Amino acid sequence: MERRAIFSGIYNLKGFAAAISMSDIAILQQMTIASGFANGWIVANRTFAARADFIAALPSVIMRPLSKRHSMNKIVVVIIFIAALTACATGQSDRSDPRSVLEAYVSAWNHHDFAAIDRLIPADGIHDDIPNVVHAQGPEQVKNFMKSIIAQEPDFQWHIDRAIVSGSTVAAEWTWTATFTGEGPYGPVKDLPLSGHGASIAEIEKGRIKKLTDYYDTLTFFPKPATKK
């Protein structure tokens, strides 16, 4: 019965943890913590300023009934749960740091994920591609730019090699590989393997891309045609 009560409590807390991890609200309001143990249900209603305060307060709320029984099994289970919840909350915050936002954007391109573009590019967000003379503003224009690239290079892969973060700005060096069909710098080609390196600078605001600018030399991506003798 004791073990059943422990896992019943963990099940209820897992649901609460999921709600925390999916929330984008900075300030948590009037949250109810419910956990079931042999001593019965412990319900506490509190307002926490942030997830960090919630995590810090959770052990004292849960461990209070445990100290009376000194059950090692219970303590181990609670420690494991707290560690998992901490990792969950940390992962949620990490996804909004500049590098993670840029990596999510690059992944959206690689997977042709237009829904992700809607989430990552605000209405005034900009993607400038200097060599292609592209100035795309807002998710629709960015998606149209992506579609034009997919039409010529459907299997492209955009890979970040190195990134440096300073405040809300991230600078990245990257590699691009693809099979190109269309009008190239040396004339029309079909299924031409190409690869090249470039760099991008992105400004991140509220977990979204405020401005991204690409810099590279198009000619270096295309192999030079063999010289006719």
Average pLDDT over residues 215-219: 97
Give the whole-angstrom CA distance, residue 188 versus residue 31: 62
- Tell me whether residue 228 is in a domain: no
Number of neighbours of residue 56 by Cβ within 10 angstroms: 12
Ranges 13-22, 125-134, 152-161: which has the least confidence: 13-22
Domain boundary among 68, 94, 120: 94
Statement: residue 18 has pLDDT above 50: no
| pLDDT above 70 for 83 | no
Q: Which pLDDT does position 225 carry in this prediction? A: 82
Please indicate, yes or no, whether residues 166 and 67 belong to a single structural domain of this protein: no
Q: Between 92 and 64, where is the model more confident?
A: 64
Residue 173's pLDDT band, with cuts at 50, 70 and 90, is very high
Provide the mean pLDDT of the chain.
Answer: 75
Same domain as 37, residue 85: yes
What is the predicted pLDDT for the residue at 63? Answer: 52
**pLDDT at site 37:** 36
Tell me if 34 is assigned to some domain: yes
**Domain-located, residue 50:** yes
What is d(CA 227, CA 26) in angstroms, rounded to the nearest whole number?
Answer: 62
Asked if residue 94 has pLDDT above 60, the reply is no
Q: Are residues 66 and 162 in the same domain?
A: no
Q: Residues of the chain with pLDDT > 90: what percent?
A: 55
Residue 226 domain-assigned? no
Same domain, 174 and 217: yes
pLDDT at 6: 39
Can you give the pLDDT at residue 226? 77
pLDDT digits over 102-118, tens only?
999 999 999 999 999 99
Find the domain containing 180 and state its range: 98-221
3 state DSSP class of 49 = coil
**Is 208 a domain residue?**
yes
Same domain, 126 and 62: no
Q: How many structural domains comprise the chain?
A: 2
Is 227 inside any structural domain?
no
Q: Given a cut of 50, is residue 131 above it in pLDDT?
A: yes
CA distance 34 to 11: 10
Tell me the pLDDT band of 206, cut-offs 50, 70 and 90: very high
**DSSP letters spanning 185-218:** TTEEEEEEEEEEEEEEEEEEETTEEEEEEEEE-G
- Range scoring the smallest mean pLDDT among 53-57, 92-96, 168-172: 53-57
Residue pointed to by tokens 């209603």: 45
Closest of 146, 92, 93 to residue 118, by C-alpha: 146
Q: Which of 94, 124, 151 marks a domain boundary?
A: 94
Instruction: Give the amino acid at 15.
Output: G
Do 120 and 188 share a structural domain?
Answer: yes
Same domain, 104 and 28: no
**Domain boundary pick from 42, 64, 94:** 94
